[in-house]
Amino acid sequence: MKTLLRPSAFLLALSLSFAFTGCSDPNTASKPASAVSASSAAAEYLSLPVNETANQWWHNAIFYEIWPRSFYDADGDGSGDFQGMTSKLDYLKSLGVNGIWLTPVFEAPSYHGYDFQDFYNVEADYGTMADFEHFIQQAHARDMKVILDLVLNHISDKHEWFIKSANKEPGYEDYFIWRDERPQSGWGQPWSSESNPAAVWHWNDTRKAYYYGAFGGSQPDLNLTKQVVIDELNKLATFWLEKGVDGFRLDAVRYAVEEGGYPLQADTQGTIDYWTIFSQHVKSIKPDAMLVAEAWADLKTVGRYRNEGKGLDSAFDFDFGNVIIDILNPAVKQSADFGTLGNSTLQQNRENLWANLNARKAAAPLHYFSPFLTNHDQNRIMLSLNNDFAKAKIAASLLMTTPGPLYLYYGEEIGVSQYKTGDDQYRRAIMQWSEEDSAGFNSSGEFWLDQAKWFPWMQNHQGWFANYWKTLQGTGVSVAAQAQDPSSLLNHYKRLISVRNSNPALQLPDEIRYYPVDNKDVWLVENIGENFSEKNGEKTSVWVVVNLNPQSAAEFSVPDNLRGERTEQVTGEKINVGERVSVPAAGVMIF
């Protein structure tokens, strides 16, 4: 939930600070100067030393984000459920992912669940606690970790804590942030500089006072400066860790502790301190639990939540997906739920990818950042790419060959798109399993998106998914159809994931070398990894070549040390790499 800042000119400036080989910077790894000549520009490269140890399970993980209500419905009531997700674990295993992120599964009054009403019970729409525990057990049996979406910044105004606080019950008076008078200025939505106190300070008629709620009156912010609240949240984390979950995706981390009006409503020292306290508690219960932060901000700010290794383990890299969309469809206007994205100041080309890598490394260890294309709060990548499957394959190739823990939003692997924009429900639509009228979602043909009860704020809600799906049936945008097509997006993802899982140097290399070859449509990087066998005293490496052009083949001059007979890992073919190579439109080669 939240706002997103675009990559700034800082990224490009940072990338330009890395010199070409042959320059005198002693800290930049390079080929011997004798190997670079004026007539061999293709042999020049930029170097990013990484030198990090991938010693945690999430450092090489590929997570699959599931919106449970839309994934698979076992009982036919129109909403997905735990039994449905359990039945699809073999599919996820065959895809090659090794982690699952479940968006909220706790009891809540809304369809989305980001306003918890009960921290200790699962959403009844999804099944029982026994169903949940069985899902965890079955995921673990397939060597897949499971993390839960955890919202600690705010809860539902229907939660018993808020009701008791509003009534000033002893011990609950300060669970939330109360004021007798609404501030007149300086306060507003924490992702905006606009002064608008009424947007965040809400009247409660029971207590006759105002309470702070950054995300609206139905979601009051908890007072995370109070030890009693901290203890309660630590207690609930312990409860779910003991149920077997492997960590948490932490929602809206930037807004935990307010220290005044804007800009002191986000990224405060108190906020950093709170998440460090929470992290230390989690580690005391389960040392290998993973905490990933949702912080829509510039990478330098996001890096602060690591707190020099004492804080959170990981954070999403929102810049990465935006860079890819900028390259593949620069005309698209991107937007976020809580704020609007500005125009990028970067050139829309391969240099942005290199700048992004350098910005990540400058802000924190590279393994800290988790790249992804889109998630449940953003328009789907297929919509942003004008439903162009060639562009979707390029995006997949770039995602699956960038370092760090990766995240894949359900349906991205088959090109699920959107009916339209304007409401979150369109981003969170039904998973398309087959070409049947029910999309293979259930046996009843019922869809929660067509049931008005989930949208009480909308007058005369009109169901839309069933009709929308009719326009897609027979076009191959389903798991069943793409599984039979060797050239499908689904099989492209499967091949890429298999290659990534077999190559630690793709997951977290010791060094990344970028070759700005003579064809600007070509992204060429060499990932050097310490755990590869050595040849002639040098570390071996994995080369990635991606044609960023979805329409035309791209030919380029090949660096000397890539030439020779090699095995292309995506297809398994033996290729004799000569002085020049042509990459098919939207093609990828990994050597």
Cα–Cα dist 464/467, whole Å: 6
Q: H or E stretch including 235? A: helix 227-242
Q: 3-class DSSP state for residue 228?
A: helix
- 354: which 2 tokens? 């290199």
Catalytic: which of 294, 298, 319, 510?
Answer: 294
Catalytic status, residue 294: yes
N-to-C CA span, the chain: 39
- 517: which 2 tokens? 């070859």
Cα–Cα dist 490/550, whole Å: 17
Give buried/exposed letters for 28-61 (b at 16+ CB in 10 A, else e): bebbeeeebeeeeebbbbbbbbbebebeeebbbb
163 secondary structure, DSSP code = H
Asked if 68 and 105 count as a contact pair (C-beta separation under 8 A), the reply is: yes
Q: 3-class DSSP state for residue 589?
A: strand
Catalytic: which of 81, 107, 157, 251?
Answer: 251
**CA within 13 Å, CB half, 464:** 13
Residue length of the chain: 591
559 secondary structure, DSSP code = P
Of 515, 587, 591, nearest in space to 554 by CA = 587
Number of Cβ within 10 Å of residue 474's Cβ equals 10
Give buried/exposed letters for 117-139 (b at 16+ CB in 10 A, else e): bbbeebbebbbeeebbeebbebb
Q: 3-class DSSP state for residue 546?
A: strand
Cα–Cα dist 511/522, whole Å: 20
| Residues forming the active site | 251, 294
